[in-house]
Amino acid sequence: MTNWNYTTVPQPGALNQSLEVARGFVLGGSSSINTLNWYRASNAFWDNLARITGDDGWSWNSVEEYYFKCSRLVTPQDGRSITTEANASAHGDGPVKVTVNGFVFDIDTTFEEAARNSSQFPYNLDYNSGNTLGIGWAQSSTGGGQRNSAATAYLEPALNRTNLDVLINTRVTKLLSSSMNNGTPVIDVVQLASDANGPRINVTATKEVILSAGAIGTPQILLLSGIGPKADLDALNIDVVVDSPAVGLNLTDQPATGVVYNVTSVQTFTDVQRNSTLADQFMQQWTENRTGLYVNYPGSIVGNFKLPSPFEDHSSGPGSANIGFVTVDGFFGAPQIPDTGEFISLLVPVLSPTSRGSVKLASTDPFESPLIDFGVYTTDYDINAQVEAMKIIDEVLSLPQFDGIVLGPYGDLADAKTDEQKALYAKQTVGVYDHASCSASMGPGGVVDSTLKVKGVQGLRIVDASVFPKIPESNTQAPVYVVAERAADLIKADYNSHSV
């Protein structure tokens, strides 16, 4: 099992469905199971983060060096030149290899051609150049035809270090304070267990504890440790170490729905979806030489757009999108692929949602999943933005370059003519984009200060997507690497000044 197999509490905005929440239960965390998309958000996102936190160290000019330390652009597996598909100057020389797809379908190049000839949906050479808006080639954390994760890029090269121990089949059950410093709890003990009924083992930190359990796991561990809203802790008879009302609140993810279109007999991987023998052949090809269909994320193209007037712009600012799409060059729908026909699909997220949710404890058992509530579509803005996004997809696919290729929407989407019908379709088919964020955030009233230290205690720092006060209008993988690289410098600076 590589997934925590979380689900949300029933989501009223999604017709009371409980939605799947993918979280990596494996070394490398969610970077080991995600869909690989790599983009670091717009310059405006980082500048807005600096404004919210009051710390210019989070501005783009300040974190740019950390982004360039994370990743480097490499040639895709088919060896083609990508000078017209990515901008080398927007990439650094870090350990995470990034590239565009190494197995391209004709429909992918049609998207590029359409964008290059559109003023409404312009071509973006590289959305990692600071402005994410437009249509461009998807970049993913792949190199050499295989996934690059936090485990492969950062952990594996360090495994032989004498100061590193990696525990597997082990989880943190609680953080403990062994002393007080001028009335402030010092968090320096990590309690571990291998199973719910097994022994608890305590490990004591000599400098500080770094909590990186993600936007679901981090608030759960804080709450189990008595750091959180007093009323919630009291209700479960958990001793209150710090009354920190924001722990577990402000949880944010981007709602997304999948849309499927009938296309003419252009090549897609629907034949692979229908034919297990062919799928096995592609798998054998990948196993032997890391080429073929399986070197890729399923889609090659992304789009990022502002919503039109009169929608308010709830993004971070210029270059940040409200809505987007990611292509899938096959059938991405339910319940299964039809026996005949060719399809392309698009996953359509609301990138700047206004709905907020929470992570709360179901019980004091650290092996019981927490109560996860994203508040999907609980604001009018979010559902209206989702409907508008679906309409914008229709406009994109109505560009002249798609004439004779895209035949029209498939299935229930074809019957969703009005805004109300599109909204119902979205509520029926919505999922979360698996970019859970913001549940232990920086900023006024937040859980951590701008150096990622947990307020109200000493010796505890958080480094993961939970610290964002606002969700990036992008995938979250690259922004978290940036946070981690800056955190490393903040930690080293504290140690070198003996101020931890």
CA-based nearest residue to 28, from 158, 138, 127: 158
Which residue matches tokens 């600096």? 50
414: which 2 tokens? 């074809």
CB 173 within 8 A of CB 364: no
359 labeled part of a ligand binding site: no
187: which 2 tokens? 């968090």
Which residue matches tokens 């759960």? 220
Sign of CA dihedral 128, 132, 136, 138: positive
Residue 197 phi/psi, 5-degree rounding, is: -105, 5
The helix (run of H) or strand (run of E) holding residue 301 is strand 301-305
CB 35 within 8 A of CB 139: no
CA distance 310 to 385: 11
Strand ranges (E), 80-169: 96-98, 134-137, 142-143, 146-147
CA-based nearest residue to 398, from 387, 408, 385, 413: 408
- Beta strands 460-462 and 209-211 are parallel
433 labeled part of a ligand binding site: yes
Q: How far apart, in Å, are the Cα atoms of 335 and each of 11, 259, 269, 288?
A: 21, 13, 17, 32
User: Which string of b and e fits 365-383 if b means at least 16 CB within 10 Å?
Assistant: ebeebbbbbbbbbbeebbb
CA distance 292 to 285: 6
CA-based nearest residue to 222, from 488, 454, 489, 1: 454
322: which 2 tokens? 């409200």
495 labeled part of a ligand binding site: no
The helix (run of H) or strand (run of E) holding residue 385 is helix 380-396
* Positions at the binding site: 26, 172, 433
* Positions at the binding site for substrate: 433
* Positions at the binding site for FAD: 26, 172
